Amino acid sequence: MCGIVGAYGRVDEETLSSMLEWIEHRGPDDEGRYIDRDAGVMLGARRLAIVDLEGGSQPKWNEDETVGVVFNGEIYNHDELRASLRRDGHRFESQSDTEVLVHLWEEYGDRMVDHLEGMFAFSIWDATSQTIFLARDRMGIKPLYFGRTDVGYVWGSELPALLIGGVNRSIDPAAVFNHFSLEYAPGAQTLLRDVRKVKPGHTVEIGPDGVRDREYWSFLDVETGSAATSFADAADRLSTLLERSVEQRLMADVPVGAFLSGGLDSSAIVGIASNLRDEPLDTYSVAFSDERFDESAEARLVADHFGTNHHEVHVDLSSMDVFDDMIRHLGEPTGHLQMLPLFLLSQRAREDVKVALAGEGADELFAGYSRYQQAPQYKRKVDFLPGFTHDVAGAVATVAPVGSKHLRYYSWLKDNTELVLHNTCGFMPFRPEPDDFLTTGETTETSGLRSSVSQVTSRVEDPTPEQHISAFETSQTLPNFHLFKADHTSMAQSLELRVPFLSADIVEFAHSLPIEYKATDQDVKRVLKRAVGDLLPREILEREKMGMRPPVEDWFRGDHDAIERWFDRGRLERTPYVDADRAAGLRDRHRRGEESVGRTLWLILTYVAWYHTFIDEKTAIV
């Protein structure tokens, strides 16, 4: 596990040093760099040593040093790949998974990614073809950004490293609109005009002929509902796949622990991992003083059940003391309310372990949120009405003195694209819309948001709305929201987080299941519950989903220096596309109890703090 950076078209050792210094937290154990002045190429890596502690330094090269790689992640099948490559005549100097990549490139070129099992983001320099090859894993577990500068391209594991590398700092208003709609920017989009993400399951080649983006994998190519298996057989198959995935992710030459919320997903991972190990697992959970948000008792129940060494981190308003440090490490604003608790949880876990397992992804794959029940129920209730009535409701909603939000919600039930657009993650139907406090002038059409949704829904043949919601959340919300959170909060503390639910075979299998195996009006995540039913305590299987989130509604009615400092009127006025009067008004009405908009205020707070930490020429730290 590492952080990587690089440049094509620019050689400046001081810049490379600064880029590497920025990502030191991603790899405090070692640093490696390569500069080719004639070719105008720089590569750099900071290493967090997990596998082959002595032989895993980077960059890694092929035999004649014409192909080099810097790599962030873990390749779980590297032993099998190494054995196969040796049979084909390749020579190795280490047991590291990194070295496998250069020989795969020699053997298969850009099709090398088809052979990889794991989480990864890497860049390969091929001196013969004068080409940079960037690749990101199938689900987007590890981040990778690239951007154009005045003299070429830069790339890296974190956006601030690209700022150091010279990308333009201009904000993209379309991305701002999307960020405040979905709580993240979808697809390749970032808040900066000239910076893009390498999308999950994609590669990007940069060379003399320009830039070429290619999709090499998508679970959307699997037909929904195509699994020809009984419910019981599907549960057995999932159980087998999960055990294999957890076993792979226990691979390490350093201590491994697990995050434990007390919910179904993390409890299942802890249970499987505990059964695969001889020694007790170290587990870590968050405790809130407000019992409405606290799951620590359930986490302790699971820990006691499996005999883990359990640790708790207590989070309250005073935890906002680390807010500025968290923003600095994230490098981007976020609407994810779990960011702060997970930042602190990772900090505590890193005292004992270098690797932790987590339950990310199960809700998206197996329809675990209440909207997988509610949205289809609402849609079925109005399916008998003529289609034009949805358009009428949307038009009336713009002028109706009362009930406008309910009319607007009805208009969104028109079809699956509309339903997905307005019912996933942060874009909730009954919270302030971006136009209430932004001045971007963008819409879902002009920002590309509607197009992002339709690009996914058009690839899902199953007519059920639940499958469309699941497809969008798995392809967009998961990598850009949940996995961003998981990676950046853990790597801020030099902790590698692994996510067993997101092996490609589990993702494809989940997408192939009929929706009734996943959710009905009475239950969600049915097949997962059946798969781990004999493993977990009954209380965990039957409890309602809670979700680890701090009580931000209360926090924004209280006082803390971090909140007051970033909601300062002057800062609001100097933040692009924020209407200072409306944003301040939202905060005032929330404090008086006239509205409950804590989640929106968190979005504004992190955006303002990010802008003035990284972008504002008067205050930027990079």
Strand segments (E) across 9-141: 30-36, 41-47, 60-61, 67-75, 118-126, 131-136
**Two structure tokens written together for 21:** 């210094």
Using alpha carbons, select from 142, 141, 140, 123 the residue that is nearest to residue 132: 123
2 is a catalytic site residue: yes
| Distance of alpha carbon 429 from alpha carbon 412, whole angstroms | 9
Annotated catalytic residue: which of 2, 67, 357, 515?
Answer: 2
Residues contacting 198, CB < 8 A, separation 6+: 121, 134, 135, 136, 144, 145, 146, 188, 204
Under 8 Å between Cβ of 375 and 419 = yes
Under 8 Å between Cβ of 134 and 128 = no
Q: Would you tell me how many other CB atoms lie within 10 Å of the CB of residue 451?
A: 12
Burial profile 173-212: b = 16 or more Cβ within 10 angstroms, e = fewer: bbbbbbbbbbbbbbbbbbbbbbbbbbbbbbbbbbeeeeee
CA 244, 246, 249, 250: dihedral to nearest 10 degrees? Answer: -110
CA 50, 51, 57, 58: dihedral to nearest 10 degrees? Answer: -90
Under 8 Å between Cβ of 317 and 555 = yes
| Distance of alpha carbon 255 from alpha carbon 155, whole angstroms | 31
| Distance of alpha carbon 225 from alpha carbon 235, whole angstroms | 15
The secondary structure element, H or E, covering residue 488 is helix 483-491
Report helix, strand or coil for 137.
coil
Point out the residues that are catalytic.
Answer: 2
